[in-house]
Structure 1
Amino acid sequence: MHSPTLIILAAMLSMLITALLFAVWYFNRQIPGLRLWVLAFLSSSVFSTCLLVRDGLPEPLSVAVAQISISLTGYLCWMGSRVYMGRKPLRHGWAVLAVGLLTAVALYFTMVRPHTGVRFVLAGLMSGVCFVLTARTLAHGGFRQVPARYLFSAMVGAHGLFVLLRPLAFALAVPRNAGDGALVAALSHIVVLESNAALVLIGFGALMLTNEFITSELRHLAEVDPLTNVFNRRAFLTLLDKALSGAQRAQSGLAVLVLDLDHFKNINDTWGHQGGDDALCHFVQVAQRCLRNEDVMGRLGGEEFSIFLPNADSAGGAAVAERLRSLLESTPVPVGGGACAALTVSIGVALAGPADAPDAVLQRADEAMYQAKQRGRNRVEVQPAPSPAPLSGPVAAGGRVAPLVLG
């Protein structure tokens, strides 16, 4: 039924993609899920090889190896997608039970009650379900943000549906054309051709996800402070610029906070740089407990941080700042193997004006923060919003032209 040339091509493609993914995994072992995808393609290679040499193997052995390898291909692909997405790993006991049960049933319909159609259905049952589950697992995060996931999901999901529905095509064809082997052979060729195409596309999809992960990691390194895991100065200013533009278009408020830890040098001198790092991380953890999901925090440098609060006025910004200041004061830093150090912060708050640039609003918040330092530290100061510039020249109030006075 199957063309030997197509099966040889499938075996070669499986081995080539397995070797390629293994090489990528060997040099990038931090990529989640890639090792399991390598094992999935290895199982696919075993299945293709088994089809090639099945005439030289005892039929029960050939059926068992084929059933186990094709089931593992789908299952390992699904587990790889779960690891890639950071999902909780599943226990493999149920999978071992399912593969064992399917193999036993396939052997029954091989040795006791031979039935090629039932074996054909069993061969793709577990793998088809697992491929569909893989598609469902990966289709998260938004197409614009992570298009590679959705492309991979579409490819593997289409293959899973084809695997589950292909017995129906044979069931519809064979009863009406029981004596016509040409149609059955043609359908068999289509199955092998689709498998070859799926091998290439799914392998390409795994490489796309690998590239997505590496790109995401590089972006993370470029935008995020490695110690505190908040945005660095450059990324924060870029986001603040976008937030200012959005607030000006929507005519909504945007409060900006500049925060500086008090007497931070004393912590470094007393507990060492590790103690200072612990204090910075502790401060960020406390601050994040006071913020909403849409609020953005960045580290400007050293012990100085900034936060902007979309849709917040001066009073709202001051309230958040005071809550943060109070919570930090009441939450000492655990340093030095169980000891605790007091930590306080001085905070300046400024409301973005209608034509403010990021540097301008940060400057006003910074001035307010220095006022808090000068007035005793561990306090919040609010810088008033800039008043609109008065009209100058001959245009007076009400749109009338004021008389010019000469001499």
Structure 2
Amino acid sequence: MHTPTLTILAALLTALVTAVLYAVWHFNKNIPGLRLWMLSFLCSLVFTVSLLLRGWLPEVVGVVISQGVVALGAYLCLLAGRSYMGLRPFSHLYAVAGIGALLALSVVFTLVYPHLGMRFVLMGVGSGVCYLLTARTLAVGGIHRVPARYLLAGVLCLHGLFVLLRPALFALGGAVPDGVLEGGLMASVSQFVLLEAIVATVLLSFGALILTNEFITSELRHLAEVDPLTSVFNRRAFFTLLDKAVSSTQRTHMPLPVLVLDLDHFKTINDTWGHRAGDDVLRHFVDLALRCLRKEDVMGRLGGEEFAIFLPNAGAQGARAVAERLRRLVESHPAVAGARSIPLTVSIGIALCGPGDAASAALQRADEAMYLAKQRGRNRVEMSGSAEPDTASAAVATVA
């Protein structure tokens, strides 16, 4: 297959990929980086079209267009990767300065000191570095947990290395000063480069679509597992995780502390200040609770103002210490709704889930301990099986 035919094929394929990515972005505009990837492929399309039109364009115009869109496309790819990973973009001033310097040098090596090899070097260095940086940006999170990112990162890395080494291939093929590629070896090199570009286009578009699917799947999982108001696990997801943690205790023979927490007089808060203030109180409470927890601790909302927490590898004393710290923190930090300060306390029940216990049974015992805390005056911590009042806890809340 001769070079013009490959160029036409590359242009058609890039146009198709750009159209597909635009359609996906049009209906999923919340996916980070997708619009930038679409624009990056659009730059590739402009580049392939400029190759087809190079016989009808002044040489310097064709060089400026080719160099500009290749550099811009690689930079947009880097921005897309950073956007997908939630990283801040680079300052565009550096990109404008870099691309401007690239174009100026390209004009110099076209009009002042004609040198096709140097133009290949300029085209390869900037874009190759951007592709390698994008690969480094995406290769985070663990290959077993997010394989799609590593797949795309691998393709970007190989493509970036090829782009950096591409000038050496043309040097081996032999390019004449006026930019016309001659000879069988040069034609073969040119065809090989176009084939690599076609394969890279297919694989990169495939990777971008896989990342789109990864993001959508993650969002759906988030909606299915996370309480939309407080952003902790919902009841169903919490029970699933608790069952897994209980299964782990069967192997390690270490008891798993389970806490049930209920905000005191929450109905009064809703009736007095309104449901919007009640929502603010729930979010405020969760923020305070998360301050007391480790990364491995799991918190969920069972419903209304009732929450549950399990603490792997904490033990009875560790669980009581966490519960007391949380109780004091809630008591000393009233919620703020607008200009109003809303006093807040919490009652906490603790149960230990040992080997052979069921998760539901442990949660039930923690719930009973929490109701015991309510009966003994609220704003206190009770351990399942404790018969005496917990003198370490303060019963300062007034029963409604």
**Shorter-chain TM-score range:** over 0.9
TM-score w.r.t. length of structure 1: 0.91
1:358 to partner: Cα distance: 1.1
In the alignment, which residue of structure 2 is the partner of 1:388? Answer: none
1:173 to partner: Cα distance: 5.1
Rounded Cα–Cα distance in structure 1 between residues aligned with 2:62 and 2:237: 58
The one-letter amino acid of 1:249's match is R
Confirm whether residue 355 of structure 1 aligns to residue 364 of structure 2.
no
Instruction: Indicate which of 224, 227, 243 corresponds to 2:245.
Output: 243
In the alignment, which residue of structure 2 is the partner of 1:397? Answer: none
Confirm whether residue 69 of structure 1 aligns to residue 69 of structure 2.
yes
* Residue correspondence of structure 1 range 10-159 to structure 2 within 5 A: 10-159=10-159
Larger radius of gyration: 1
1:137 to partner: Cα distance: 0.4
In the alignment, which residue of structure 2 is the partner of 1:203? Answer: 205
State which drifts further: 205-214 or 240-249: 240-249
1:13 to partner: Cα distance: 1.0
RMSD across aligned C-alpha pairs, in angstroms? 1.6
Rounded Cα–Cα distance in structure 1 between residues aligned with 2:160 and 2:255: 50
The 3-state SS of whatever aligns with 1:351 is strand
Instruction: Indicate which of 183, 191, 205 corresponds to 2:193.
Output: 191
State which drifts further: 246-255 or 116-125: 246-255
Residue 254 of structure 2 contacts residue 354 of structure 2 at CA under 8 Å; is this kept in 1? no
The 3-state SS of whatever aligns with 2:258 is strand
Question: Aligned residues: percent identity?
Answer: 63
The unaligned stretches of length 5 or more in structure 2 are 176-180, 387-400
Confirm whether residue 165 of structure 1 aligns to residue 165 of structure 2.
yes
Rounded Cα–Cα distance in structure 2 between residues aligned with 1:331 and 1:39: 48
The 3-state SS of whatever aligns with 2:55 is helix
1:384 to partner: Cα distance: 4.1
1:2 to partner: Cα distance: 7.1
1:246 to partner: Cα distance: 1.3
The 3-state SS of whatever aligns with 2:91 is coil
The 3-state SS of whatever aligns with 2:274 is helix
1:107-153 residue CA offsets vs partner (Å, 9 max, x unmatched): 11111111111111111221111111111000111112211111111
* Residue correspondence of structure 1 range 162-311 to structure 2 within 5 A: 162-172=162-172, 174=174, 181-311=183-313
The 3-state SS of whatever aligns with 2:26 is helix
The unaligned stretches of length 5 or more in structure 1 are 386-407
4+ residue runs over 2 A deviation: 168-175
Rounded Cα–Cα distance in structure 2 between residues aligned with 1:209 and 1:167: 31
Instruction: Indicate which of 321, 334, 341 corresponds to 2:323.
Output: 321
Rounded Cα–Cα distance in structure 1 between residues aligned with 2:75 and 2:367: 56
TM-score w.r.t. length of structure 2: 0.93
Residue 68 of structure 1 contacts residue 99 of structure 1 at CA under 8 Å; is this kept in 2? yes
The one-letter amino acid of 2:156's match is V
Rounded Cα–Cα distance in structure 2 between residues aligned with 1:9 and 1:310: 58
In the alignment, which residue of structure 2 is the partner of 1:366? Answer: 367
1:334-354 residue CA offsets vs partner (Å, 9 max, x unmatched): 01x211000100000111111
The 3-state SS of whatever aligns with 2:309 is strand
